[in-house]
Amino acid sequence: MSVVEVLSQAVLTGDDEQMPDLISQALDEGLPARRILNEGLLAGMAEVGRRFRENEFFIPEVLVAAGAMKAGLQLLRPHLARQGVQAAATAVIGTVKGDLHDIGKNLVAMMLEGAGFEVVDLGVDVSAEQFVEACRTHPVDLVALSALLTTTMPEMIGVVRLIRQELKPSPRVIIGGSPVTQQFTDEIGADGYARDAATGAEVARQLCMG
Amino acid sequence: MTGKERVARTLTHRQPDRVPIYDKFWFEAERDFRERLGVPLLERHTRFDCDTAPCAQPQTIWELFDMDMVEVAWPDFRLRFSPPEVIEETDEWLLQRDGNQAVLRWWKHKMGTPEHVAFGIDSPEKWAAVKHLMTASRERVRWDEFWPLYRRARAAGRYVCFATVEPIEMIKDVLGHEIMLRSMIKRPEWIHDIFNTYITVAIEMLELVEAEGMVCDGAFVYGDIAYNTGPFMSPRHYREFVQPYHRRLFDEFHQRGMPVLLHSDGDIRLLLDDLIDAGVDFINPLEAKAGMDVRELAPKYGNQLGYCGNIDARVLATNDLERIREELRSKLTAVMAGHNYIYHSDHSVPPSVTLETYQAVLAEVRQAGRYD
C-alpha cells in the first residue's frame, strides 16, 4: 500500500496519531503536497462521506475522521503554501440570525473541509449582512446556511435575497437543517439542499468544482 | 375511566375507553394559550427555567387542558448547584457558565437549545476531579414544585410519570455532543465510567424519590439519541455504550411495575429493535419531519412497542382544521387497533397553533379516539 493510501486509511479510521509520521514519510518520498492532500486526506474524507450517506458511518466515525484529516492538513498546510497550492474553493458557513444551534453546522463545516474547501465559519446567529460582508472580505464560492428551527428557517430567505442583490456574481448558496426541505430550497432560490453533512459536501463540490 | 386508568391500560396494550391525551408546548405557545385562557404564567416562570418551571404553576398546562398524565421528580443532574456565572450579556442573549462548567449562550426572551460554546470537562483528568460531585441527594429535586403537582394529579386521577433523563442526555450537558461521541471511539473506558456514574445516581434518585413517598405509575425518560436523518451513533455503538445503561435504568422501573416511555427527537428507526431489547415500552415524540410514522411502525412492531406522539406540528401550525382532522384520523386509524397509542404532537405545540385550533384538536381526539 502506498503512503497516500495509508494516509487515506488513517483518515478513515480517525488515526490522528499516525498523521505526523505519515505526512513526513510522504514528503520524504518527494510526493507533491497537492497529491498528499488530494489522494491521501481528501480521498479518505470522500470515503467517510460515502459511508456516512450509506449509514455505515455515523457521527462518531465522522468526528474522529475529521479530526485526523485536520491534524494532517495542519502539518501539510505550510508545504501547500510553499508549493502555491490553494484550496479548490472557499465556503462561508453559519447558522442564521436568531438560531444558536451549531452541531449540524459544525459537521457540515468539517465535511466541506474534507471536500477540499477553505472554510470560513461565521458561527451562529449570523445576519444576512454578516454573510454578505464575509463574502466581500473572502473570495467566496459558496455560502452554506444552517437553521434548526421552523421559526428561524425563514431567515434564509433574506440571506439568499441579499446575497443575490449585493454580490455580482453571486456565490452559490446551499441550505440545510432539520426543518429544511428540497421544496423550501427551490422556493427561496437557493442552489442546493444539504440533507445531511455528507450530502451537503457532495452538493457543494458539484456546485463549485463541477 | 380516569386518566390514570386510561393511560395504564394503554401502556399495557389493553383497550381503554379512548386514546389518552398528553402533550408538550413551546414556551411561547404555553404563554399565549395561558393568557387567552386567563391563567397567565406566574412571575416565577422565567425564561431560564422554562423546561421545568411550568410544573411550579398552580395549574399546569396539562391540567388546564385536562390531560391524562403529568410528570414529576425531574432530578437535576448538574455537578454543582451554584447559580450560573454570567460571562457576557446583551439585550438578546446571555453567555453563562453553568453547574457543569459548560459555557452556553441562551436566548433571553425565547425558548431554544443554547449554543454550545465550550465545555469545561473535556478530558478524563478533568472528569476525575469532579466525579465525586455526582452523588444522589435531596437537593436534586424541586420538591416545592412537584409535591403540589403530584398531590393534585393523584386527587384528579391522572397518571403520574417519574420524569428523568438517560445517559446521552445527561452527558451531553457535561461534555457536549462532539466530545462525547468522539470519545466513544477514542476513549471508550472514560465514556463507560461517566455513563456508569450517572446511571448509578439516576437509579439512586429514583430510590430517593420513592423513599420520600412520591411513588409514580410510569417513567418518562428523556434522551435525544438521534437527529433528523438518523441516530447519533451506529446500532453497534448504541449496544456497546448506551444499551447496558438503558437496560439497568429501565429494569429498575420495570421491577416497580412502571412502563418506560422514551423520548428521543429525530429518526430513531435504526435503533428501535435495540431499544425494545433494552426495555423501552413506548416511544415519544415520533417526529414526523424526521421520517417517523406510526402508520409504518405499528404494523412492523405489533405489540412489541407503543407510541406517544407523531401528530405533525407542521400540520397543526396550518390551523387548517380539515388537514388536521385528516392527520389525526389517518394516524389514529392505524394505531388504535393495538390499544397502544397516546395522543401527543410530534414534538411540542408551536406558538403558531391558535388556541381554537388546539381545542379543536383535543375535541377531535376525544371523539375520534373513542373505542366504544
As given in the structure block, the three cell numbers for residue B4 are: 390514570
The pLDDT tens digits of the residues spanning B128-166 come to 999 999 999 999 999 999 999 999 999 999 999 999 999
State the average pLDDT over residues A27-48. 96
Do B240 and B248 form a contact (C-beta atoms < 8 A)? no
Q: Which residue has the higher pLDDT, B273 or A98?
A: B273
Q: Which three cell numbers stand for residue A165?
A: 442583490
How many angstroms separate the CA of residue A85 from the nearest CA in chain B?
A: 31
Closest B-chain CA to A178: B228
ipTM metric: 0.91
Give the per-residue pLDDT at B44.
53
CB burial string B292-317: b at 16+ within 10 A, e below? bbbeebbeebeeebbbbbbbbbebbb
DSSP state of A29: T
pLDDT for res B50: 42
CATH of span B3-81+120-368: 3.20.20.210
Using the beta-carbon criterion (under 8 Å), do B231 and A58 form an inter-chain contact? yes
b/e sequence B55-68, b meaning 16+ C-beta within 10 Å: bbbeebbbbebebb
Interface test with A, best of B90, B95, B122, B185 (most A CBs within 10 A): B185
Q: How far apart are CA A37 and CA B60, in angstroms?
A: 58
Ranking A48-52, B56-60, B199-203, B338-342 by mean pLDDT, the lowest is B56-60
Residue-level pLDDT at A148: 86
Q: Strands B341-342 and A89-95, how do they pair?
A: unpaired
How far, CA to CA in Å, does B165 sit from each of A112, B77, B223?
34, 9, 6
Q: Which residues of A touch B239 (CB under 8 A)?
A: none
Average pLDDT, chain B: 94
The pLDDT value recorded for residue B57 is 86
Instruction: Say whether B148 sits in a helix, a strand or coil.
Output: helix
B190 min Cα distance to partner chain A (Å): 15
- Say which residue, B111 or B274, is predicted with more confidence: B274
User: Would you say B281 and B260 are in contact if contact means Cβ atoms under 8 Å apart?
Assistant: yes
Closest CB to B232: pick one of A58, A106, A178: A58
What sections of chain B are H helices per DSSP?
A: 3-11, 27-37, 61-64, 124-130, 143-156, 167-186, 188-211, 235-237, 243-255, 272-278, 294-301, 313-316, 321-335, 355-368
Considering only CB atoms, which chain A residues are within 8 Å of B317? 150
Tell me: pLDDT of B45 over 60: no
Angstrom CA distances, A104 to A197, B286, B325, stand at 7, 20, 34
Report the relative pairing of strands B93-97 and B102-107 from DSSP bridges: antiparallel
Q: Using a CB-CB distance cutoff of 8 angstroms, which residues of chain A are in contact with residue B186?
A: 14, 64
The whole-model pTM stands at: 0.92
Q: Are strands B230-231 and A142-146 parallel, antiparallel or unpaired?
A: unpaired
The grid coordinates of residue B297 equal: 411502525
pLDDT interval class at B53 (50, 70, 90):
low
User: Which residue, B332, B362, B366, is CA-closest to B61?
Assistant: B362
Cis check: omega of the bond before A78, within 30 degrees of 0: no
Q: At residue B301, what are phi and psi to the nearest 5 degrees?
A: -100, -10
Length of chain A: 210
Cell of B343: 395522543
Q: What pLDDT, on a 0 to 100 scale, did the predictor assign at position B93?
A: 87
A70 touches A121 (CB < 8 A):
no
Substitution target in B103, B107, B113 with the highest count of A β-carbons within 10 Å is: B113
pLDDT digits (tens, 9 = 90+) for B301-324: 999 999 999 999 999 999 999 999
**A64: closest chain B residue by CA:** B182
Mean pLDDT of chain A: 94
- CB contact, 8 Å: A104 with chain B? yes
pLDDT score of A188 more than 90? yes
pLDDT in tens, B13-23: 999 999 999 99
Q: What is the DSSP string of A106-125?
A: HHHHHHHHHTTEEEEE--SS
B124 vs B35: CA distance, rounded Å:
48
Q: Where are the domains of chain B?
A: 3-81+120-368
- At residue A75, does pLDDT exceed 90? yes
Confidence of residue B47 (pLDDT cuts 50, 70, 90): very low
> Which residues 6+ apart lie within 8 Å of B236 measured at CB?
none
Reported as a single tens digit per residue, the pLDDT across B337-365 is: 999 999 999 999 999 999 999 999 999 99
d(CA A88, CA B68): 58
Q: Is A10 near chain B, with CB under 8 Å? A: no
B177 contacts on A by Cβ (under 8 Å): 59, 103
pLDDT tens figures, B220-268: 999 999 998 899 999 999 999 999 999 999 999 999 999 999 999 999 9
Most confidently modeled of A101-115, B41-55, B77-91, B334-348? B334-348
Phi-psi group of B354: left, alpha or beta (phi > 0 → left; psi -120 to 50 → alpha; rest → beta): beta
Are residues B104 and B117 in contact, defined by beta-carbon separation less than 8 angstroms?
Answer: yes
Residue in chain A closest to B116 (alpha carbons) equals A102
A94-108, A186-200, B52-66, B158-172: the lowest-pLDDT one: B52-66
pLDDT reported for residue B46: 46
Pair type for strands B260-263 and B282-284:
parallel
